[in-house]
Amino acid sequence: MAAFFAIAGGAALAMCQWLVLFRAPVEESMGIVQKIFYLHLPLAWWALASFFVVFLASAVYLARRTPRWDHLARAAAELGLLLAVLALCTGVLWGRRAWGVWWTWDPRLSTTLVMCLAYAGYMAIRGLGMPRRRQALACAVLGIVAFLDVPLVFVSARIWRSIHPAVFAGGGLDADMAAVAGACVLSMGVFWAGLLAVRAAQLGQTCRLETIQRRKMARNMEESWTT
Amino acid sequence: MLRLSMAIARKDLALCLLRGSGLLQAVLLGLVLIFIFGLAGETGSVVDARTAAAAFWLSSLFCMVLVFGRLFGLEEGAGARSLLVLCGAPVQAIWLGKAAAGFVLVACGQCVFLPATLVFLGQDVCGPLWRWAAALALVDAGLAALGCLLGALGHGREGLLSALLFPLLCPLLLAGIGLGAQAFGNPGEDRGWLALAAAFDAVFFAAGLALFGFVFPGDD
């Protein structure tokens, strides 16, 4: 089922490239460069969705202590971090071509940057050699705390930015653009669900293999003591 | 619970202040930061209010990281963390006590950072002192709340604690810099920073009380 979602999502994304190149109108002021938006927007939205999944899975893990919720949180954090970094890269490239600046402290970009750093810290804990249960607890707490920070980061960036002049003014989307953007978001969502499920399953299997290996080693040691 | 929290805070403050080593390093690091900000400008130039406020809060932030690393390292070094957990009181009392000790230690550091900022970065405090003291206390409380919660995760590893804390503290730091800039005479800065700092404190005090019990005892 997970592989089906991943493959279907990949195919849908490929179809969306056709929509972006041949159906979506070319934006008047920014020209063809604007089409990077159809990649940037789904990446940003599904990165935020990933961080929300980390929050939910972490809360459920703290309540139930079932390893599969920890695996889901870890898979969502990895995927969310990847998507957020790609969203930032596409945002930087778009900003440079469209407005001549590499970066603007737009609240959404600033929030994405801060969340990237926060979840990079989360992955740093995953990379430490802590006992498994302690690591899972620590990451669950951090996953909850990091997501609680999201609205605060957004509001603070908005207040800060109101002091500085805006580099660009946002506008609305026309109907064709909105339709193509919606299709890209949905396709990315299907692909995201597939990747998340596959990665969570991988982590579960890795955990089971490690458990089997540890039990085998313990049994071998016990046998070597008794003989 | 409050009695135990105060006992823990008194114990930690006595250990840190009487020995002096933990706070001294933190204060020296903060002062170096302020000096570098002062030296970085052109000769004779004036550091603007927002930059001075940023230097002050960065010094406070580094001080907080070292302070909480030290506070949680006290029990780790003596192998006494389990004993603290087994004392029978709610784990939240330990969080409150550690946060209170951290708050006082950071405030002690800021008693050095603030005059250094005024002198070396050429600033003056404008407006009612009680307002800026209240703003300082509000931001310091947020630093203590989150620093204490994540300090328990870091287990005395300052590098990890910094990596975890700095992104999450961005909203509070921006609020501190905004309020600090206003205190140093930039009148256009009053844009809801106090409300943001209060919201941050409310969220992370609640998170600290709810989540500390999961990170401090742990399963080793």
Q: What does each of the 220 residues of chain B score in pLDDT, given as a tens digit?
A: 788 888 888 888 888 887 766 688 889 899 999 988 888 877 667 788 889 999 999 999 999 988 888 888 877 766 677 777 777 778 888 899 999 999 999 999 999 999 999 988 888 888 788 888 888 999 999 999 998 888 887 665 667 777 788 889 999 999 999 889 888 887 665 668 888 999 999 999 999 989 988 888 755 4
The residue of chain B nearest to residue A142, with distances taken between CA atoms, is B150
Q: How far apart are CA A77 and CA A58, in angstroms?
A: 11
In 3-state terms chain B splits into helix, strand, coil percentages (rounded to 5) of 80, 0, 20
User: Which residues on chain B are in Cβ contact (under 8 Å) with A152?
Assistant: 171-172, 196, 199-200, 203
Please tell me the predicted confidence (pLDDT) of residue A155: 84
DSSP code string of A118-186: HHHHHHHHHTS---HHHHHHHHHHHHHHHHHHHHHHHHHHHHHHHHSPPSS------HHHHHHHHHHHH
Kindly report the backbone phi and psi dihedral angles of residue A27, in degrees, each rounded to the nearest multiple of 5, phi listed first: -70, 140
The whole model's pTM is what? 0.85
B79 and chain A in contact, CB less than 8 A: no
Judged by a CB distance cut-off of 8 A, whether residue A125 touches chain B is yes
Say how far apart CA A133 and CA B183 lie, in whole Å: 46
Q: A173 in contact with B at a CB cutoff of 8 Å?
A: no
Q: Which residues of B touch A129 (CB under 8 A)?
A: none
Chain B positions in Cβ-Cβ contact with residue A149 (cut-off 8 Å): 167-168, 170-171
Tens of pLDDT, residue by residue, chain A (227 residues): 778 888 888 888 888 888 888 888 777 777 777 888 888 889 999 999 999 999 999 999 999 999 999 999 999 999 999 999 999 999 888 888 877 888 877 788 888 898 999 999 899 888 887 788 888 988 999 999 999 988 888 888 888 776 444 444 455 667 778 888 888 999 999 999 999 999 999 999 999 998 899 899 888 888 887 76
Q: Say what the pLDDT of residue A164 is.
A: 45
Instruction: Compare CB distances from A134 to B160, B192, B218 and report the shortest one's residue.
Output: B218
Q: Does B44 touch chain A (CB under 8 A)?
A: no
Residue A31 phi/psi, 5° resolution?
75, -155
List pLDDT tens digits, range B198-216. 999 999 999 998 998 888 8
Task: Check if A14 contacts B (Cβ < 8 Å).
Answer: no
- Most B CBs within 10 A among A51, A141, A150, A164, hence the mutation to make, goes to A141
> Which value does ipTM take for this structure?
0.83
Contact across the interface for A159 and B199, Cβ inside 8 Å: no
What's the pLDDT score for residue B156? 57
With a CB-CB cutoff of 8 Å, which residues 135-164 of chain A face chain B?
137-138, 140-142, 144-146, 148-149, 152-153, 155-157, 159-160, 162-163
Predicted confidence at residue A168, as pLDDT, reads 43
Mapped onto helix, strand or coil, the DSSP state of residue A27 is: strand
- Residues ≥6 apart with Cβ < 8 Å to A29: none
What is d(CA A36, CA B146) in angstroms, rounded to the nearest whole number? 38
CB contact under 8 Å between B193 and A137, yes or no, is no
Residues A57 and A199 sit within 8 Å (Cβ to Cβ): no
Judge whether B192 is closer than 8 Å to chain A, CB to CB. Answer: yes
- Supply the DSSP string of B99-153, one letter for each residue: HHHHHHHHHHHHHHHHHHHHHHTT----S-HHHHHHHHHHHHHHHHHHHHHHHHH
Predicted pLDDT of residue A131: 82
